Structure 1
Amino acid sequence: MGWSYLWIPFTAVLSVALFHFITIKNEFISSNSYGLWMYSCLFITGLLFTREMNFYIAYLFLLLSLRRVLSMHTGKQMTKKIFDASLWICIACIFYSWSIIFFSILFISIIIHAFKKLNYWAIPCIAIATVSILTFTIDQFSYLNLWSNFLDGFNYYINYDNIDFSSSLVVFLVFAMLCLVFSICLLMGIPNISLSARSRFSVLGFTGICVAIDYILNGSSLLSIIVIAIFLTRILQYSNRKILVESVLWVPFLILMVSLFLK
């Protein structure tokens, strides 16, 4: 039984490394331990309520995709970055079908950085075709049934007529709500951000909105911990009030403790 959870530490380490790279590289937060503390507590909270390996594998690929999307602000190697981001999302869809929602983030980024470049809009289609052909080929020579599993993934949704408020649903609801509120705050605060960083914060804000949509459709909001961790860390960085800083530092820990109690 214990062997089946060996993927957890590897996933945790990789996700923390990707989070640190994304946040520092894009200057969302300063190089300090606040962000890692926030992210780690929230990630552990997520692990308490869902341990589906496929979901976390998809999560890692979505982080890789987000990394490439955010790097589009440089304007260099756009074709490669769009293809890479599309490819990672497509692979994530194999493990978690609703990852397809995050194509909207890529298209928003294209609108922001290269709206008039019509050839850029065709690149995601090439990536989709590539992964589709590979998936179909693998299905022909194996019993993995990747295509059918992808399509079956859309059959699961929240039945709001007969909803069961389980502890996991409540925790991810809190994640989704915080993510949505913080994303709106980030988007509303865009005018106060330097011109060079506005595109990156716009992408981050729309990512949070996509996470909220994902929760409404499927009850999942793990990717929200990135937005929440970044927003709370920025509060710590730019606040001069010691009481506020200490209070915010306790937020992810309290969420973790409450989650343990609910569990």
Structure 2
Amino acid sequence: MISNFFSKSKPIHYIVVSVILLLVFTMSRFKMFSSGFDMMIFGEQLGLFLIALFSIFVFDFLVSRNGLTKKNSYNILLFVLYFAILPQTTLNTNLLFANFFILLALRRIISLRSQKDIKKKLFDASVWISIATLFYFWSVLFFILIFAALLVYVITDLKNYLIPIVGIATVAVIAVSYFIIIDKDIVSYVSGLLDYSVDFSPLNSKRIIISSTLLLSFGLWSLFYYIKNIKSQMKSYRPSFKLIILSAIIGLAILAIAPSKNGSEFLFLFAPLSIIMTNYIEVISEKWFKETLLWVLTITPIILLML
């Protein structure tokens, strides 16, 4: 049974989620290699697969190191199942890289709870988000998390509020220098950054509608229990759980204003929703309901392939 198998963290779980992710990548790129094998394209796609796989590992480290869930593997199972439910998220190269760097930043932001190496963590987080912004501009909204963390963790030294600016400036100087070296028009690059759209018609397909409805409805349902559960957490851990909610809100904001909507922008919701839903699964007392919930998420991608 799925719920029992993933109820405790085991090394074999990493193998299972890796295989599932590989299947998702292979199925979503089947047409790409149907006309023939190209070693260059294969190398590029292998690199993207590894980025997505490393994202899962970074996410698991973030969760386990900061006690955001109990000691189980539901979080990485949900993360990879979201990829399967919305395989469009594996097709956008820039978003895969951006999400990877956002997860690295989130790991540093949540670890501010320890009140150790604050300046280093703030600098690292701001650098990671800045790099993510180079790949996908609206990743810039995640800078809100840094300043929110300073507030909820009660870090009052005003010097710490200047460190993110230093991180941004560092990446900006390196990026501008690179553009000058490759003779890229910086003005045209910057002018296209603020593009946005509130037109959701590109998402009007059966697969995306069913997938997004399932993802968001389960996430919203779990959120009520997640918020209720925050009060039962240790006082020092509560701010971290609140930051995960803010991360989900930022992900929704990016989804709303994304200039090109094709389903891949849901990727920013995977991490926070996996944590929120894992916390809900952990408190479900009825084993049959927990099992049914996980089976629905597992079978849905197979059903969607038939549409």
- Rounded to whole Å, the distance in 2 between the matches of 1:146 and 1:6 is 30
Question: Does structure 2 conserve the Cα–Cα contact (< 8 Å) formed by 1:82 and 1:124?
Answer: yes
Paired position in structure 2 for 1:51 = 91
The one-letter code of the counterpart of 1:251 is V
Kept in 2, the 8 Å contact 1:94–1:150? The answer is: no
Match of 1:60 in 2: 100
Deviates more, 1:94-103 or 1:118-127: 118-127
Residues 33-112 of structure 1: pairs in structure 2 closer than 5 A: 33-48=73-88, 50-112=90-152
- Counterpart of 1:233 in structure 2 is 278
Give, in angstroms, the shift of residue 48 of structure 1: 3.7
Partner of 2:27: none
CA distance in 2, matches of 1:67, 1:49: 21
- Could you tell me whether the CA contact under 8 Å between 2:223 and 2:277 is conserved in 1? no
What is the distance in 2 between the residues matched to 1:81 and 1:10? 25
Residue 195 of structure 2 aligns with which residue? 155
Match of 1:197 in 2: 237
Counterpart Cα distance in 1 of 2:123 and 2:167: 6
Aligned partners of 2:217, 2:185: CA distance in 1, in Å?
A: 35
Q: Deviations over 1:22-64 (max 9, x none)?
A: 1111112233232222111112333345512111011100000
Q: What is the CA distance between 1:10 and its match in structure 2? A: 0.4
Instruction: Classify 1:95/1:231 alpha carbon distance in 2 versus 1 (closer, same or farther; 3 Å).
Output: same
**Secondary structure, aligned partner of 1:155:** coil
Which is worse superposed, 5-14 or 90-99? 5-14
DSSP 3-state at the match of 1:195: coil
Q: Contact 1:179–1:208 at 8 Å: present in 2 too? A: no
1:30 aligned residue: 70
Identify if the C-alpha distance between structure 1 residues 143 and 38 changes in structure 2 by more than 3 Å, giving closer, same or farther: same
TM-score, normalization by structure 1: 0.87
**Higher mean displacement: 2-11 or 143-152:** 143-152
Mean CA deviation greater in 43-52 or 235-244: 43-52
Aligned partner of residue 154 in structure 1, secondary structure: coil
Name the CA distance, whole Å, in 2 between partners of 1:169 and 1:152. Answer: 27
Inter-CA distance 117–186: structure 2 relative to 1 (3 Å threshold): farther
Q: How many residues align?
A: 261
Counterpart position of 1:140: 180
Tell me, in whole angstroms, the C-alpha distance in 2 between the residues paired with 1:134 and 1:69: 23
TM-score (norm 2): 0.76
Q: Is the 8 A contact 2:281 2:290 kept in 1?
A: yes
Corresponding residue SS for 2:122 = helix
Structure 1 residue runs of 5 or longer lacking an equivalent are none
Q: Does 1:165 align with 2:210?
A: no
**Contact in 2 for aligned 1:139/1:146 (Cα 8 Å):** yes
Q: CA deviation at 1:147?
A: 6.8
Q: Go from structure 1 to structure 2 and tell me whether the alpha carbon gap of 1:168 and 1:105 turns closer, same or farther (over 3 Å shift).
A: farther
Q: 1:121 aligns with which of 146, 152, 161?
A: 161
Distance 1:72 1:49, change over 3 A: closer
Whole-angstrom distance in 2 between the partners of 1:178 and 1:212: 15
> Separation in 2 of the partners of 1:30 and 1:19?
14
Identity value in percent: 25
| Alpha-carbon distance, 1:21 to partner | 0.5
Distance 1:179 1:240 in 2: 19
Q: CA RMSD in A?
A: 2.5
Q: Is the 8 A contact 2:86 2:208 kept in 1?
A: no
CA distance in 1, matches of 2:46, 2:293: 32
Q: Distance in 1 between matches of 2:127 and 2:207?
A: 30
Partner of 1:257: 302
CA contact (8 A) 1:48 1:259 kept: no
The answer for unaligned runs of 5 or more in structure 2 is 1-37
Residue matched to 1:217: 257
AA partner of residue 165 (structure 1):
N
Query: Greater CA deviation, 28-37 or 190-199?
Result: 28-37
- Matches of 2:305 and 2:91, distance apart in 1: 15
